[in-house]
Structure 1
Amino acid sequence: MLQKPAKPYKVAIFHQGCVPVYRRGFYVRLSETSKNDYVVFHGKPPSNTSLQVAQPPFPFANVEVGTVELRLKKALLIWQRAVSRFASGRFDGVVIGHEFKFLSSFAILALAKLRRRPVFWWGFGYRKAYGSWDEGGKPPLKDRLALWAADKLARWGDGYLAYTEKGRDHLLSIGVPADRIQVVRNTIDVEEQIALAEAVAGSDDAEIRAEFGLRPNADVLLYVGRLVPRKEVDSLVRFAVANRDVDGRPVDVLVIGDGEERAKLEALAGDAPNVRFAGAIDPSDIRIAKAMKLSRAVVIPGYLGLAINHAFAHGRPIVTRKHEFHSPEIEYLTEGEDSLLIPGDETAFHEGLKSFLASPQEQARLAANAMHQRETLRMDYMVRAYDDFISRVVSKAGDR
């Protein structure tokens, strides 16, 4: 007897309020490979972020919605005009991001629960008290309340799509059943980046240096990402200003990105000939691949996230400071093998950078290991784990 094909489910996705450029490839691959009908709700990015947003039209099912923002002291609250669209959409389940600022997500959560439709959280699996970074290690009341609420909400979900094993461990520790947790990791379109890396492999380094205004024969340290205080790009700029050469070789710093800190960082660099600002560049632009090819490492002193995946796709190691406030993607690093996590203050970090630049052998070893690690971050795994888990949970809900 022929087995009937599994029912395709219709699932709404509310995540980040927009479609960041790094998430576009995931949604495209999900729509191409899944039998389910995923509909991504999106709009303008929240005004308190500097996310680089992908521009429609998109080759996947999506609904563009308006947003209303409300400032409450330092907090930003957002209402997406999407609740009625969700209510009338006959969805079998809904995926919601873990950001509390989207008030409309709580209305969607309540509506889904009333209709007995599965609700999936998608995020870290736990929250970090980032406010304590600014308050000497003591979490402020806002963070303590957020930690408590995050745990409560996690237990209300029918499933949790976590980025890391550490997230899974935390969810288990607060009582979320193992069968409601799926580690999907979190990645960019590594395949696209690998193709870009291969496309520039034979490019002339001298021409690339001229394109970015870099000095001949300089060892290049690359920063890619948003220019926001939490990234501590100022520490890298100060290093460059104080160290135009290391161990007899010139050192250049190339900064790719934009954000609220750009003017301040450019002023800090002054007329230093070894600091270059290239502005924001789309990840699919071959210029980033060219910059990666030249660089000895991707250096982000502060908060570190998906830049790890981006660097590894090009076989470039990560250099950062060792602290507790990195994004959960920090777990994708193997310290001392494909990356350097330098402990201590800024002076210690600068000394660690000098040691790295003075050792071509260390640079080559870390780069080789970073190239190997990129195989573990391919998007196909994330898409398959995500889709299979949602299908399984929605199917069981339908049986009930």
Structure 2
Amino acid sequence: MNGKLFILFEFGIPHYRGFLLEKLNASFQEIVAYHADDKFSGTFENHSSKCKCFGSGENKLCIFNVFSLLSASAIVTTLNLRRPHTWVPMLLLPWKKWIIWGSGVGENSSLIVRFLRRILLFISDGFVVYTENGRKKLIEFGYSDEKITVAYNTLKIENSCLTSGEKYFLYVGRVQKRKELDACFHAIKKLQKKLLVVGGDYNDEISRLKVLADEEGCSDLVEFRSPIYDDAALKDVFSNAIAYVSPGHVGLGVVHAFGYGVPVVTFMERNHAPEFEYCNKHNSYLVLSDNISDALYECLNKPVEHFKRRESAYCFYKENLSVKNVYNAFFCQFERLGISTDKTDVQDIP
């Protein structure tokens, strides 16, 4: 009989982790996912358990029965030092098999934080990191290369394909001020090309953007649509896109864009999510200045170079962002630690 797997989520359960949770659920006797029920509202059938939480925001204190972890064959934690429920159990039960899942060592240079991080890394038995750069930083920090596997942060896109849309520039995701979508307004007015924004409002940002578009004189070129979750509808939206624009911040939108061969246009010098590392000069338009007009102009007026970026974006998705790679990263950890699973060969996964 296969063992029991626990997963400690720093926030709620992200909906885009569903494909991995389903795979793990089919491979273990039982899975229990403890979460804080904030930021993300995904669910995992009857196998998730909300922590008892106090306070709010980044420093929310979450509590669960730590001794339930005694029955675990392995414990995966999305380590966040601001969320003690993701690391205090490591100190209490250091002999259990701990696998950290996250972006890497972080940038905080505080002596206390670095000391605590070293202790937790010493306790851990493995690390599933989001990017190759995260892997490199872990090794520089002194973590064993043999204990690291890379699982690029990704989405399961059943209908991914190379597209060649020419109708509009596109943004899909939460409509937030940090995305700096208004940086495109002057350019789309000059180029007379539409910007389609698909996503939910955040802090009344859509109203602010409508005012700015009106002031710029391009309100007829900016269209807002409600969030889309259906795969077929998303494919239709991306299939008609020239490029995916998120000037001020990029995250998982990069994965969706690359899944349909749509290059990304963004500023380089911003506080991006780890997915920014997927972007390079071959598959994206990385803007050094705060003027995005030249990049959008190139999208429209250099078709040969633009299509090469499309091909490179789609190729990156196929080679690096496949769900098979994510499965491999986790099951390599389990196998290395001698944990029995009912693993389907990833080569058989469509």
Decide which of 194, 216, 230 is 1:252's aligned counterpart. 194
Q: Return the letter of the residue paired with 2:23.
A: R
Deviation string, structure 1 residues 256-293 (Cα, Å, up to 9, x no partner): 122223332233233701111112222x4422211101
Alignment correspondent of 1:378:
322
Q: What SS class does the counterpart of residue 244 from structure 1 fall into?
A: helix
Q: Return the letter of the residue paired with 1:272.
A: S
Alignment correspondent of 1:24:
18
1:210-359 map, 5 Å = 219-236=167-184, 238-239=185-186, 243-246=188-191, 250-258=192-200, 259-260=202-203, 261-270=205-214, 272-282=219-229, 284-323=230-269, 325-333=271-279, 335-344=280-289, 346-347=290-291, 349-359=292-302
Q: What SS class does the counterpart of residue 273 from structure 1 fall into?
A: helix
Decide which of 179, 182, 202 is 2:146's aligned counterpart. 179
Per the TM alignment, residue 221 of structure 1 is displaced from its structure 2 partner at its CA by 0.6
**Alpha-carbon distance between aligned partners in 2 of 1:110 and 1:150, rounded to the nearest angstrom:** 11
Alignment correspondent of 1:392:
336
**Alpha-carbon distance between aligned partners in 2 of 1:144 and 1:112, rounded to the nearest angstrom:** 24
**Alpha-carbon distance between aligned partners in 2 of 1:148 and 1:269, rounded to the nearest angstrom:** 49
Alignment correspondent of 1:103:
84
Higher mean displacement: 61-70 or 382-391: 61-70
Per the TM alignment, residue 245 of structure 1 is displaced from its structure 2 partner at its CA by 4.9
Deviation string, structure 1 residues 349-399 (Cα, Å, up to 9, x no partner): 222222322222232221122222221111012112212213422549xxx
Contiguous gaps of at least 5 residues in structure 2: 341-350
Deviation string, structure 1 residues 68-97 (Cα, Å, up to 9, x no partner): 2425xxx6222334235x526611221111
Aligned length: 334
Alignment correspondent of 1:124:
103
Per the TM alignment, residue 343 of structure 1 is displaced from its structure 2 partner at its CA by 1.0
Alignment correspondent of 1:9:
3
**Alpha-carbon distance between aligned partners in 1 of 2:169 and 2:159, rounded to the nearest angstrom:** 19
**Alpha-carbon distance between aligned partners in 1 of 2:288 and 2:111, rounded to the nearest angstrom:** 26
Q: What SS class does the counterpart of residue 38 from structure 1 fall into?
A: strand
Per the TM alignment, residue 331 of structure 1 is displaced from its structure 2 partner at its CA by 2.7
* 1:70 has 2:55 as partner: yes
Contact 2:188 2:221 in 1 (8 A): no
Per the TM alignment, residue 147 of structure 1 is displaced from its structure 2 partner at its CA by 6.2
Deviation string, structure 1 residues 159-181 (Cα, Å, up to 9, x no partner): 11111121111111111122222
Alignment correspondent of 1:82:
64
Q: Return the letter of the residue paired with 1:226.
A: R
Percentage of matched positions with identical amino acids: 24
Q: Return the letter of the residue paired with 2:47.
A: N
TM-score normalized with structure 1 length: 0.74
Q: Return the letter of the residue paired with 1:91.
A: A
Contact 1:30 1:387 in 2 (8 A): no
Q: Return the letter of the residue paired with 1:65.
A: K
Contact 1:127 1:150 in 2 (8 A): no
Q: What SS class does the counterpart of residue 243 from structure 1 fall into?
A: helix
Alignment correspondent of 1:168:
135
Q: Return the letter of the residue paired with 1:294.
A: N
Q: 1:359 to 1:151 in 2, by over 3 A?
A: farther
Q: What SS class does the counterpart of residue 341 from structure 1 fall into?
A: strand
**Alpha-carbon distance between aligned partners in 2 of 1:350 and 1:128, rounded to the nearest angstrom:** 32
Contact 1:92 1:394 in 2 (8 A): no
Q: 1:262 to 1:82 in 2, by over 3 A?
A: farther
Contact 2:79 2:86 in 1 (8 A): no
**Alpha-carbon distance between aligned partners in 1 of 2:3 and 2:174, rounded to the nearest angstrom:** 36
Higher mean displacement: 387-396 or 170-179: 387-396
Per the TM alignment, residue 294 of structure 1 is displaced from its structure 2 partner at its CA by 0.7
Contact 2:32 2:49 in 1 (8 A): no
Alignment correspondent of 1:214:
none
Q: 1:149 to 1:289 in 2, by over 3 A?
A: farther
Q: Return the letter of the residue paired with 2:266.
A: T
* 1:154 has 2:121 as partner: yes
Per the TM alignment, residue 222 of structure 1 is displaced from its structure 2 partner at its CA by 0.6
Contact 2:242 2:299 in 1 (8 A): no
**Alpha-carbon distance between aligned partners in 2 of 1:181 and 1:307, rounded to the nearest angstrom:** 26
Q: 1:193 to 1:303 in 2, by over 3 A?
A: farther
Q: 1:227 to 1:316 in 2, by over 3 A?
A: same
Q: 1:100 to 1:265 in 2, by over 3 A?
A: farther
1:47-62 map, 5 Å = 51=40, 53-54=41-42, 56=43, 58=44, 62=47
Contact 1:309 1:374 in 2 (8 A): yes
**Alpha-carbon distance between aligned partners in 1 of 2:25 and 2:306, rounded to the nearest angstrom:** 39
Quote the RMSD (CA, aligned, Å).
3.0
Per the TM alignment, residue 254 of structure 1 is displaced from its structure 2 partner at its CA by 0.9
* 1:44 has 2:23 as partner: no
